[in-house]
Chain A
Amino acid sequence: MLLEMKDAVLSYGKIEALHGISVHVEEGEVVSLIGANGAGKTSTMRALSGVRGLSAGSVVFDGQDVTKMRADQRLRKGLVLCPEGRGIFPGMTVTENLNMGAYTRKDKSAIDEDYDRVFDLFPRLLERKKQIAGTMSGGEQQMLAIGRALMSRPKLLMLDEPSMGLAPMLIQQIFDIITEISQQGTTILVVEQNAKQALSRSDRAYVLETGNIVKTGTGPELLDDPSVREAYLGVA
């Protein structure tokens, strides 16, 4: 098992956002976490990446207990989050943003390979290398955020709402690229409101409601599940 979060409780002050959820990801899988606004999807990602500490429960990554580790320490282990709302550095250029992804790495030749790989996946970024990231379109910023995450050489790539605010055609394109990244051998955990895309591309999925996991199954199973269809796919 690559990642296992057990009985995780996360609070903001007195408000508990996660009430003891358990999630796991096997090596090579694409797993998605779906749910409505405020269900706790982003909180789960913050807890997994280490941006927020847990008040109870544990996170084990790649055979090591990382519960007490900070975000920057977890990143060094290969646990990489591409944050919600893209979270690029608006004042830096495209190249500088990508460099930030490789911040902890010293393997120069492998870094160059990864640049090539990122520019291969996102030719758009190559064209815009010197542009200030804050001036790019939403779709381009999302591509940059994913590219930057890949520059960290993730063992597990976690994506928080990669489709947020994008036009349907772009959503399709972003998910195609996520599938491609998975086929290249990176394990993926993706959080999405766009349940249809997420479920159809995932090996397994969890349904999150108000801080609890209410359902889990394979992608196709959940796509056929009547309650999921009604709540998240807009079909009765």
Chain B
Amino acid sequence: MDFDALISGLDRHTLDGITRGSIYALVALGYTMVYGVMKLINFAHSEVFMVGTWTVLGVYTVLGATSGMGVGAVIGATVLALLAAMLASAGTALAVERIAYRPLRKKGAPPLIFLITGIGCSLVLVETFGQVLKAFFGPPFGRVTVNVPSVIETKVVFTIPGLDLPVTNTRLLIIIGAIVMMVALDTFVNKSRLGRGVRAVAQDPDTASLMGVNQERVIMLVFVLGGAMAGVAALLFTVQYDITKFDIGFIIGIKAFTAAVLGGIGNLRGALVGGLLLGVVEVYASQIWDSSWTDVTAFIVLVLVLMFRPTGLLGESLGKARA
């Protein structure tokens, strides 16, 4: 155990953890919103994120974007990649809902069937990128890690005075991007008419339909919103880590799920709190022990939360308390 390493670089590790946690938090939103309205853990959500990362790679490849372009070109390529990733991820999420979940819902299938179906969808998507697309198009598809061009060159933008902590443009983009998306989503759910419909379905689906809320529409909406957030997360992830892989969704997905549970699944602000906390805890753990402990620590945290506070830090529910 090496607490000195942690203490000596505490500011740096905290910033590192927040960066990581921002991405978890964005992905966690998808789990938490779908759970809020359907009481379902959508295990295919990790692949919604994965599709987003490949979309970013696709856009960069088509545009021929690389590092060292002019500022205008960098911004243009990044924005295009962002929009494409949001669209692709939202589309994937919607397709999963339409093709897999909706027919089950119409038949009134028990909850366990939904879970297994979600895992099935996840495997299908993973193997599509690991196997099927490779058979048709060859590399970069396949079972290896692929580099995504680091279009944005990492630069130190400013140094936090007093701490002597350098902050890079990529970290800044990730943290601010995640917070902006979170605030936008939170405002939408709490202030808009459609958002009120989402909260109503989360609190009481039957009564919501008696108010004229179309439940199917609300379900589609949460899949699309959750998917779009995963798309944003995908772009930010490639900005920071410059890679993707056919099974990259698995570990990010399970971490984001942990973050959602940690914050209180069904609770949007909980996803933010849980994501950031998990990110920071992981980085601290990797300093105290070594980086092989990162994942172990994350899941120990999950188990502890489930044992001692099953409703998470901020408590369950998209629309606050259930009567």
Contacts and interface: CB of A to CB of B under 8 A. Distances in A.
B199 A71 contact: no
Interface residues of A, number: 27
B223 to A, nearest CB: 19
A152 interface: yes
B35 to A, nearest CB: 16
Nearest to A46: B206
Contacts of B204: 87, 89
Interface residues of B, number: 23
A152 B211 CA distance: 7
A72 B212 CA distance: 4
Given A103-B193, A103-B213, A90 B206 contact: no
B210 A89 contact: no
B203 A91 contact: yes
A60 interface: no
A51 interface: yes
A217 interface: no
A203 interface: no
Interface in B193-222: 193, 196-197, 199-200, 203-204, 206-215
A9 B215 CA distance: 25
Contacts of A103: 193, 196-197, 200, 211-213
Contacts of A49: 210
A68 to B, nearest CB: 14
Interface string A117-137: 000000000000000101000
Contacts of B200: 89, 92, 100, 103
Contacts of A80: 210
Interface stretch (B63-71, B294-302, B313-321): B313-321
A75 interface: yes
Given A72-B215, A103-B193, A134-B321, A91 B210 contact: no
Interface of B: 193, 196-197, 199-200, 203-204, 206-215, 317, 319-323
Interface of A: 49-51, 70-72, 75-76, 80-81, 83, 87-92, 96, 99-101, 103-104, 132, 134, 148, 152
8 residue pairs, one from A and one from B, having the closest CB atoms? A91-B320, A104-B212, A71-B209, A75-B212, A90-B323, A87-B207, A91-B319, A100-B211
